[in-house]
Amino acid sequence: MMDTRRHLRGIGDLDRAALERLLDLTDHMAEVGRRANPKVPALRGRTMCNLFFEDSTRTRMSFDTAAKRLSADTMTLAVGSSSVNKGESLRDTVETLGAMGVDAFVVRHRSSGVPWRIAEWTEASVINAGDGWHQHPTQALLDLYTIRSERARRLGEDAGFEGLRVGVIGDIRHSRVARSLTEALGLLGAVVVHIGPRTLMPPTPLARSTDDLDGELEDLDVVYLLRMQNERMDAALIPSGEEYTRRFALDPQRAGRLGEHVLVMHPGPMNRGVEITVDPTTLPGAVVTTQVTNGIAARMAVLFDLLGGVETEVSA
Amino acid sequence: MTDGKRVLGPDDVRRATTRMAHEIIERNRGLDGVVLVGLQRGGVWLAESLGEEIGRIGQAVPVGSLDISLHRDDIGRRPVVPGSVSSLPCDVDGAIVVLVDDVLYTGRSVKAALDALNDYGRPSAVQLAVMVDRGHRELPIRPDFVGKNLPTSIIESVEVTVDGVVIIDPETTVDQ
Amino acid sequence: MSERVESVQPRGGTVLRGGTVIDVAGERRVDVRLVDGRIAETGDLPADGDAEVIDVTGLVVAPGFVDLHTHLREPGMTEAETIETGSRAAALGGYTAVVAMPNTDPTQDCVSVVEFVRSQGRSAGLCDVHPSGSITVGRAGEQLTPFAELASVGVHLFTDDGSGVQDDGLMRRALEYAGELGLVLAQHCEVSSMTTGAVMHEGECCSHLGLPGWPALAEELMVHRDIELVRLTGAPVHLLHLSTARSVALVRAAKADGLPVTAEATPHHISLTDERLGSFDPLFKVNPPLRTMADVEAVRDGLVDGTIDAIATDHAPHPPQAKERPLDAAPPGMLGLETAFGVARAHLDLELRELIGLMSWRPAAIAGLADRHGRPVEAGEPANLAVLDPDGRWTVDPGRLASRSTNTPFTDVPLVGRTRHTFLHGVAVVRDGVATR
């Protein structure tokens, strides 16, 4: 029998049309969020199960809220990272929970690829909430939605992605956010440049890489800062945090050189004093809290898209 | 698409719209607090036409639209495609909301619209205007303003546009 | 029980009639009579009432295969494989001898463990099991094992396989010491400081999948170092499972310089590429990792032009639950014994005799087994033979493998060539593709 389930394991599960449909759906969900009662019955009777093998309260709560606003039932299995290392029980866990009638698993795991494995062991749809360094597609979706809606608000209706110049700055190599975002922006025709030291640049045909932040700064429409983690310094990928900050942080001087309508984004949580030394609330283009708000709408869109119906036209 | 049986022409639709506008004004004397809300997608053009007529005859009333796809009770059984994003022009709390749709059939869309409306506030009254009532109700719902009562067979479908009303015979359509 | 496995045979022995013999001497149409563990005669053998006759028309009679690189997992990891199940897998693959890798638990670094492995092999009686020894105690890379003592109980090949000897000075001393004893050190070439946490070949594919990479250079640096140590010491080195184009080029140059360097390649490194990891299925995780198509082609070329001396399986069983872990937590390794011939035949553009040489007499020489295995099919020689259907097409059913584990990566790969019968010291341990014990 043909496998008719759909998943959102990575941006690779989408084509351009599917991505645009999700962005349009996110518009609907954002509208639901602005209602007096921000809850609709659309996914009544459906069950979403959070499978978080890696702690992330923010992402888990965002998915939880999204599911509740669509009236889906939710289950949560939060597994401490210690038992993840053993890993033997992964398949058993999934099969057991699947037997309880789960329609979608939302999976977060420190190892790349786990959502793909889980999809082979369950009848449910699988949504990736972040796997290793690999993919974080709902983050990319909320980022794209934020770019689209904020640019539309600031520049007018015609602000599309074609030719949009996005600079992703920092530790691209270890970033699932950067991988998903780069791939998704590419699908929509944007031009991505990866900015950071070569030790943190993965080889990819999807973006140009450079370590010259100051040379790129004035050409960017969107500045996307990544979180710099201390363990990278331990692994001798960069000499020190101070040197990183000097070369790649958004400081007041660099912020002053940004164009008028440039958006400044960050997936959070921000390392103030490391990748950003300017107070983001003083930047007119900073949309970091909008990203968080849009996260719920984007995840509602994904849940509704996977569990809510079929994608063919019908009359009323 | 196949050509169906045309039961109303553009002029008929225009005349029916004008008549319904008059009825709405008459029923809601003074039009205070009245807001027209078209159901996505088929009711939106009709709500706009009614709004223009009412504005021409009496006074301007706010016109909005409501997407009910997230409130339907048949999600998963039928494909669901949201229309445009809902846009209500004013606070519905205490307002008299006239829901507008092109065709009234089982009543389930109207039920979904009533549910959706509830999420925005508590109207003082809700009325229903439709261009065509084709019967076969499955819920206790009744229109307040009707352009045309049109007896149909349950297997037929009805298309309503500014250009008229067409009944489509499934025998001559390609259906799954 | 002796290494010569006896069984009740008709007085006239067993006659393999109608086949084509292929051995180091070439190819000829002759019948072969086996009596008492040896080849009694070859030629056009007439019907003989007192012999068991096996019709091998259309098949190839060849010296049994020799695997330089088998993980039998016993002692220590018998949930993955035992010496018995691994030997059965070997026999079904046409092997009559395997070199058992020393990364058991405890390590094969002393006489008692080595003797245990050898005796388990004898009692299974399906294949000659020749234990290798580790180069360093516990494969910890610090202290040399007693080479001479281990050599006295028949160990010829020494390796820390699973990891390479990282300490350059230690490797030099090991070569000097082993060289004068006439032993062979086999290296797993991997500079471990470059492969910390590595899951797959470092490249665009690995970058796209968000996995830590195993750079080709980590292998090549050690290949280069060991070649230079061979140049310095004159002691032979055997390079295990070469996987990169540059490694093959380095070995080619070393051989041109006349250095005593030998090398092997695995069936998976000539048939699969790193793109298989896109499924995140740990079945495709192996060490060294699957490389790019350019590397695969270079390794094939190395086998074809003689730069690489042998096909070795690196048969590495793991139980299903281990391969159900996330990719980065799953152990590396693939089954190989039962599929090696079929994979090699399907992926190498090579005369059958050349291919059999890569799997039989050439590895036998490296393993120090040339007196017993990979021998010519001639009267008086030991009857360690594989009868092959060289063009039989088949696919693997992991559930029907003799190995205790099922971690074969070849389930969707069409295979060409299969073992029909295997004779170990004259006894049919495999008949019509089925193990007899």
> Which tokens sit at C84?
């018995």
Across the interface, of A28, A311, A314, the residue whose CB is closest to B78 is A314
C-alpha angle B64-A146-A139 in degrees, rounded to nearest 5: 125
Q: What is the pLDDT of residue C431?
A: 97
**Residue B6 counted as domain residue:** no
Which pLDDT band, with edges at 50, 70 and 90, does C10 fall under?
Answer: confident
The distance of Cα C107 from the centroid of its chain, to the nearest Å, equals 19
**Mean pLDDT, rounded, of chain C:** 96
Please indicate, yes or no, whether residues C216 and C128 belong to a single structural domain of this protein. Answer: yes
Please indicate, yes or no, whether residues C196 and C318 belong to a single structural domain of this protein. Answer: yes
On the CB side of C128, CA atoms within 13 Å amount to 29
**Residue B164 counted as domain residue:** no
Chosen for mutation from A21, A35, A43, A313 (greatest number of chain B CBs closer than 10 Å) is A35
Q: Taking the CB of residue A120, how many other CB atoms lie within 10 A of it? A: 13
Which pLDDT band, with edges at 50, 70 and 90, does C371 fall under?
Answer: very high
| pLDDT tens per residue across span B32-46 | 999 999 998 899 999
Across the interface, of C210, C211, C329, the residue whose CB is closest to A85 is C329
| pLDDT tens per residue across span A82-103 | 454 455 478 888 998 889 899 9
Q: Sort residue C346 into left (φ over 0), alpha (ψ -120 to 50) or beta.
A: alpha
Q: What is the pLDDT of residue C436?
A: 95
Does residue A314 sit at the B interface (CB-CB below 8 Å)? yes
DSSP assignment of A58-123, as one string?
HHHHHHHHHHHHTT-EEEEEE--HHHHHH-TTHHHHHHHHHTTT-SEEEEEESSTTHHHHHHHH-S
Query: Is the predicted pLDDT of residue A316 greater than 50, yes or no?
Result: no
DSSP assignment of A136-196, as one string?
-HHHHHHHHHHHHHHHHHHH-TT--STT-EEEEES--TT-HHHHHHHHHHHHTT-EEEEES
Please indicate, yes or no, whether residues C273 and C394 belong to a single structural domain of this protein. Answer: no
Assess whether C314 carries a catalytic annotation: yes
Query: Is the predicted pLDDT of residue C1 greater than 50, yes or no?
Result: no
Helix A57-69 vs helix A288-307: crossing angle, to nearest 10: 50
- Residue A161 phi/psi, 5-degree rounding, is -95, -15
Please indicate, yes or no, whether residues C48 and C104 belong to a single structural domain of this protein. Answer: no
Q: Which of A 54-93 lie inside 8 A of B, CB atoms?
A: 70
Pairs from C78-81 (Cβ < 8 Å, separation ≥ 24): C78/C404, C79/C319, C79/C404, C80/C317, C80/C318, C80/C319, C80/C322, C80/C404, C80/C405, C81/C317, C81/C403, C81/C404, C81/C405
Q: For A109, name the nearest residue in chain C, comparing CA atoms only.
A: C326
3-state secondary structure of B25: helix
Across the interface, of A87, A116, A203, the residue whose CB is closest to C207 is A203
| pLDDT tens per residue across span A216-226 | 999 999 999 99
Q: What is the pLDDT of residue C207?
A: 95
- In angstroms, what CA-CA distances link A64 with A67, A297, B119? 5, 12, 20
Q: What is the pLDDT of residue B8?
A: 92
Lowest mean pLDDT among A32-36, B68-72, B138-142, C32-36: B68-72
Please indicate, yes or no, whether residues C418 and C274 belong to a single structural domain of this protein. Answer: no
- In angstroms, what CA-CA distances link A197 with A203, A227, A237, C265, C337? 13, 14, 9, 37, 45
Q: What is the pLDDT of residue A55?
A: 84
| pLDDT tens per residue across span B92-107 | 999 999 999 999 999 9
Please indicate, yes or no, whether residues C68 and C48 belong to a single structural domain of this protein. Answer: no
C218: domain range? 64-366
Domains and CATH numbers, chain A: 11-136+294-307 (3.40.50.1370), 138-292 (3.40.50.1370)
- Spell out which residues of chain B touch residue A24, defining contact as CB-CB under 8 Å: 82
Percent of chain A with pLDDT over 90: 76
Rounded CA-CA distance C174/B124 in Å is: 94
A133 vs C324: CB contact, 8 Å cut-off?
no
Q: What is the pLDDT of residue B176?
A: 37
Query: Is the predicted pLDDT of residue C19 greater than 70, yes or no?
Result: yes
The continuous run of DSSP H or E covering B118 comes out as: helix B108-118
Q: Domain with C291 in it: what CATH number?
A: 3.20.20.140
Q: What is the mean pLDDT of residues A149-175?
A: 91
Q: Domain with C388 in it: what CATH number?
A: 2.30.40.10
A90 vs C326: CB contact, 8 Å cut-off?
yes
Rounded CA-CA distance C237/C247 in Å is: 14
> Which tokens sit at A158?
């015609």
**Residue C372 counted as domain residue:** no
Strands (E), C101-255: 128-131, 157-159, 184-187, 200-201, 213-214, 237-239
Taking a C-beta distance cutoff of 8 angstroms, is the pair A202, A182 a contact?
Answer: no
Chosen for mutation from A111, A134, A182 (greatest number of chain C CBs closer than 10 Å) is A111
Which pLDDT band, with edges at 50, 70 and 90, does A144 fall under?
Answer: very high
| pLDDT tens per residue across span C83-96 | 999 999 999 999 99
Which pLDDT band, with edges at 50, 70 and 90, does C12 fall under?
Answer: confident
A132 vs C325: CB contact, 8 Å cut-off?
no
**Residue C9 counted as domain residue:** no
C204 vs A173: CB contact, 8 Å cut-off?
no
| pLDDT tens per residue across span A227-268 | 998 777 777 788 888 999 999 999 999 999 998 899 999 998
Please indicate, yes or no, whether residues C205 and C333 belong to a single structural domain of this protein. Answer: yes
Taking a C-beta distance cutoff of 8 angstroms, is the pair C333, C63 a contact?
Answer: no
Please indicate, yes or no, whether residues C50 and C79 belong to a single structural domain of this protein. Answer: no
3-state secondary structure of C158: strand
**Residue B138 counted as domain residue:** yes
**Sign of the dihedral defined by the CA atoms of residues A190, A193, A199, A204, in that order:** positive
Binding-site residues on chain B for chain A (CB distance < 8 A): 39, 41-42, 67, 69-73, 75-76, 78-82, 85-86, 101-103, 109, 115-116, 118-121, 157, 159
Query: Is the predicted pLDDT of residue C104 greater than 70, yes or no?
Result: yes
**Residue B5 counted as domain residue:** no
The pTM (predicted TM-score) of the whole model is 0.90
Lowest mean pLDDT among A31-35, B75-79, C37-41, C326-330: B75-79
Please indicate, yes or no, whether residues C277 and C299 belong to a single structural domain of this protein. Answer: yes
- Distance from the Cα of B69 to chain A's closest Cα (Å) equals 8
What per-residue string of b and e applies to A181-220 under the rule 16 or more CB within 10 Å gives b?
A: bbbbbbbbebbbbbbbbeebbbebebbebebebeebbeeb
Taking a C-beta distance cutoff of 8 angstroms, is the pair C135, C240 a contact?
Answer: no
A117 vs C208: CB contact, 8 Å cut-off?
no
Q: Do chains C and A touch (3 or more CB pairs under 8 A)?
A: yes
| pLDDT tens per residue across span A173-185 | 999 999 999 999 9
Rounded CA-CA distance A59/A65 in Å is: 10
Catalytic annotation, pick one of C128, C226, C314, C389: C314
**Mean pLDDT, rounded, of chain A:** 90
B100: domain range? 11-74+84-148
Percent of chain C with pLDDT over 90: 95
Rounded CA-CA distance A106/A78 in Å is: 11
Rounded CA-CA distance C191/C223 in Å is: 10
Across the interface, of C321, C322, C326, the residue whose CB is closest to A113 is C326
The continuous run of DSSP H or E covering B50 comes out as: helix B44-57
**Residue B162 counted as domain residue:** no
Rounded CA-CA distance C27/A59 in Å is: 68
Query: Is the predicted pLDDT of residue B78 greater than 60, yes or no?
Result: no
Which pLDDT band, with edges at 50, 70 and 90, does B80 fall under?
Answer: low
**Residue B95 counted as domain residue:** yes
> Which tokens sit at C11?
């007085």
Please indicate, yes or no, whether residues C91 and C224 belong to a single structural domain of this protein. Answer: yes
**Residue C213 counted as domain residue:** yes
Q: Choose the final residue of a domain: C366, C390, C416.
A: C366
The distance of Cα C264 from the centroid of its chain, to the nearest Å, equals 9
Among C386, C391, C399, C398, residue whose Cα is nearest residue C433? C386
Q: What is the pLDDT of residue B172?
A: 65
Q: What is the mean pLDDT of residues C316-330?
A: 94
Rounded CA-CA distance C400/C413 in Å is: 16
Q: Domain with B123 in it: what CATH number?
A: 3.40.50.2020
**Residue C6 counted as domain residue:** no
Among C273, C272, C270, C231, residue whose Cα is nearest residue C250? C231
| pLDDT tens per residue across span C207-245 | 999 999 999 999 999 999 999 999 999 999 999 999 999
Please indicate, yes or no, whether residues C389 and C289 belong to a single structural domain of this protein. Answer: no
> Which tokens sit at C405?
């584990």
- Distance from the Cα of B52 to chain A's closest Cα (Å) equals 24
Q: What is the CA radius of gyration of chain C?
A: 21
**Residue B129 counted as domain residue:** yes
Task: Provide the domain count of chain B.
Answer: 1
Query: Is the predicted pLDDT of residue A311 greater than 60, yes or no?
Result: no
Across the interface, of C203, C207, C325, the residue whose CB is closest to A90 is C325
**Residue C83 counted as domain residue:** yes
Please indicate, yes or no, whether residues C203 and C349 belong to a single structural domain of this protein. Answer: yes
Task: Provide the domain count of chain C.
Answer: 2
Strands (E), C14-94: 14-17, 20-23, 26-29, 31-35, 38-43, 52-55, 60-63, 65-70
Q: What is the pLDDT of residue C8?
A: 58
- Spell out which residues of chain A touch residue C329, defining contact as CB-CB under 8 Å: 85, 87, 111
